[in-house]
């Protein structure tokens, strides 16, 4: 059985199986994770974190792979976290992103990890950020997180990154749908992938227009980042160099502002997730509030009555604000 000190030591020494184990601890909310993180925490912050999201099948994994190739060409190392959905029926998951990246497996400058989204809402983003912290401390120049852009939990994952790349492609929903889904709001860089396919030009136009309208609306405010829209053919590696240039430009933009302030704001979210998760476990488990709710409802009170009663019990129980 390994302990936290051993794993932290392994990470400092660059042992990949220590990193792999620490990510497993993050996934399982293992009680050894916090101590391991504490002892490598001074090393966290050196990686540039890139979130890649977009609709299913847009080419996120292929693009992430191409990005890794380009980063390696520039002699940068990269850690990749690829997230796929857990089946709500079986609780299992088929994690297939790695197929598109398999050629990178034997490269010592690349580390690829697959993660299932699992059940709980906040749990995914918490685990993903934890995993990125571990990869960051390991010393990768870049950490890329891929997740399907389908819901709030997934947006929370990419939202924790420094630069968010949204990948769209012709066919898989047009620009309008993307806007409705709020997918443009999270983007720092927009990529129209599958530029070799019909309809890519149209999508480029739609998106450029949408982004332009947005930046006009923002005019007059402090320095704003103008979201670039770029075309790519990930399967051929085309447009990837340009993508990386825009990511670099975004990095310079943030570094010109208050990067540490932005990162700390995102860290506050992580604190919230940890607190929420622990409270959820504690209250509905050992503290017995599930049973209490059940017996409240037996007395034919409404869910709100029962909730009020429970909240009063919790908040009156040493949890009021100072």
Partner 1 sequence: MVERKIRVLVGKPGLDGHDRGAKTVATVLRDHGMEVIYTGLHQTPDQIAEAAAQEDVDVVGLSILSGAHMSLFPRVREELEKRGMGHVLLTGGGIIPTDDMAELEAQGFAKLFGPGTPTDDIAAWIKSTMEARWENEEVQT
Ligand X SMILES: Nc1nc2c(ncn2[C@@H]2O[C@H](COP(=O)(O)OP(=O)(O)OP(=O)(O)O)[C@@H](O)[C@H]2O)c(=O)[nH]1
Q: How far is the CB of 234 from Mg ion (least distance, A)?
A: 11
Residue 23's binding partner out of ligand X, Mg ion, partner 1, none, with CB under 5 to 8 Å set by partner kind = partner 1
Pair 84, 93: CB distance under 8 Å = yes
Stretch that binds ligand X, among 114-122, 156-164, 177-185, 188-196 (CB under 6 A): 188-196
Binders in 98-137 for ligand X, by CB under 6 A: 100
Residue 269's binding partner out of partner 1, Mg ion, ligand X, none, with CB under 5 to 8 Å set by partner kind = none
Residue 105 binds partner 1, judged by CB under 8 A: yes
Task: Give the contact letters, 13-42, x = binds to partner 1 (CB under 8 A), - = no.
Answer: ---xx--xx-xx--xxxxx-----------
| Torsion angles phi and psi, residue 34, rounded to 5 | -55, -40
Spatial neighbors of 197 by CB under 8 A, at least 6 apart, are: 169, 170, 171
| Torsion angles phi and psi, residue 5, rounded to 5 | -65, -40
Residue 53 binds ligand X, judged by CB under 6 A: no
Residue 17's binding partner out of ligand X, partner 1, Mg ion, none, with CB under 5 to 8 Å set by partner kind = partner 1
Token couple for 249: 């430009």
Three-state SS string over 120-182 comes to CHHHHHHHHHHHHHHHHHHCCCEEEEEEECCCHHHHHHHHCCCEEEEEECCCCCCHHHHHHCC
| Torsion angles phi and psi, residue 49, rounded to 5 | -100, 125
Residue 129's binding partner out of partner 1, Mg ion, ligand X, none, with CB under 5 to 8 Å set by partner kind = none
Q: What is the largest CA-CA distance in the chain?
A: 68
Residue 21's binding partner out of ligand X, Mg ion, partner 1, none, with CB under 5 to 8 Å set by partner kind = partner 1
Binders in 190-249 for ligand X, by CB under 6 A: 193-194, 196-197, 233-235
Residue closer to Mg ion, measured from CB, 60 or 250 = 60
d(CA 124, CA 116): 8
Contact footprint for ligand X (CB under 6 A): 56-62, 97, 100, 148, 193-194, 196-197, 233-235
Contact footprint for Mg ion (CB under 5 A): 60-61, 97
């Amino acid at each position: 059985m390994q302990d936290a000190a051993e794993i932290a030591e392994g990470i400092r020494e660059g042992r990949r199986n220590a990193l792999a184990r620490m990510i497993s601890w993050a996934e399982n909310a293992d009680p050894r994770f916090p101590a391991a993180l504490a002892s490598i925490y001074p090393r966290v912050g050196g990686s540039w974190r890139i979130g890649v999201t977009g609709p299913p099948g847009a080419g996120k994994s292929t693009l992430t792979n191409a990005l890794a190739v380009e980063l390696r060409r520039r002699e940068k190392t990269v850690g990749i976290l690829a997230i796929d959905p857990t089946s709500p029926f079986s609780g299992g998951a088929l994690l297939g992103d790695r197929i598109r990246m398999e050629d990178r497996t034997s490269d010592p400058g690349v580390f690829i990890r697959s993660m299932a989204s699992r059940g709980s809402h906040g749990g995914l983003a918490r685990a993903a950020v934890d995993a990125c912290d571990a990869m960051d401390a390991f010393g990768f120049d870049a950490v890329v997180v891929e997740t399907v852009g389908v819901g709030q939990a997934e947006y929370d994952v990419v939202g924790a990154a420094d630069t968010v790349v949204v990948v769209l492609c012709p066919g898989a929903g047009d620009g309008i749908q993307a806007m409705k889904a709020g997918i443009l709001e999270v983007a720092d860089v927009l990529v129209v992938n599958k530029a070799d396919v019909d309809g890519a030009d149209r999508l480029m136009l739609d998106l450029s227009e949408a982004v332009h309208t947005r930046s006009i609306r923002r005019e007059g405010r402090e320095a704003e980042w103008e979201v670039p829209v770029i075309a790519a053919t990930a399967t051929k590696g085309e447009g990837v160099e340009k993508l990386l240039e825009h990511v670099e430009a975004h990095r310079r933009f943030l570094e010109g502002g208050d990067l540490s302030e932005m990162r700390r704001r995102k860290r506050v979210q992580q604190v919230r997730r940890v607190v929420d998760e622990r409270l959820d476990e504690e209250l509905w488990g050992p503290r017995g509030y599930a049973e209490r709710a059940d017996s409240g409802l037996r007395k034919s009170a409404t869910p709100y009555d029962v909730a009020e009663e429970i909240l009063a019990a919790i908040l009156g129980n040493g949890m009021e604000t100072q």
